[in-house]
Amino acid sequence: MKRIAMMTTLAFSLASTGLMAAQADMTDQMHKDYAASMSGMSDAMHKGVMSKDPDVAFAAGMGAHHAGAVEMAKVELKYGKDPEMRRLAEGIIKSQEAEMEQMKAWLAAHPDKP
């Protein structure tokens, strides 16, 4: 009986260790995904706001900011479990993609002047 209890404890211990390792790997990848979205957003935002025209700078910088927010929301949908945060992420994707299209169209009609 003691031997069965010990073997059961050992089996649960090994299973939980494997689960913790898998969870740690997933957390590491999640952090990498978030970092990638923020890095790309930061560089593109900085480039966008460098225009001498304040309206172009706003649209270009904000477009990059929205693109980063959409990427972060996609990371939430990939890893997140909370229904409220998942709904928020879905709403961010929908609204900010529409705004990105609006800014892209505006920028096409108002090219930056050197």
Tens digits of per-residue pLDDT, 74-96? 999 999 999 999 999 999 999 99
In angstroms, the CA 56 to CA 107 distance is 7
Q: What is the overall mean pLDDT for the chain?
A: 86
Query: What is the per-residue pLDDT for 104?
Result: 96
Question: What pLDDT band is residue 7 in, cutting at 50, 70 and 90?
Answer: low
pLDDT reported for residue 23: 65
All structural domains of the chain with their residue ranges: 27-109
Q: Report how far residue 11's alpha carbon sits from residue 97's, in angstroms, rounded to the nearest whole number.
A: 48
Buried b or exposed e, range 53-76, using 16+ CB within 10 angstroms: eeebeebbbbbbbbbbbbbbbebb
Alpha-carbon distance of 75 to 86, in angstroms, equals 10
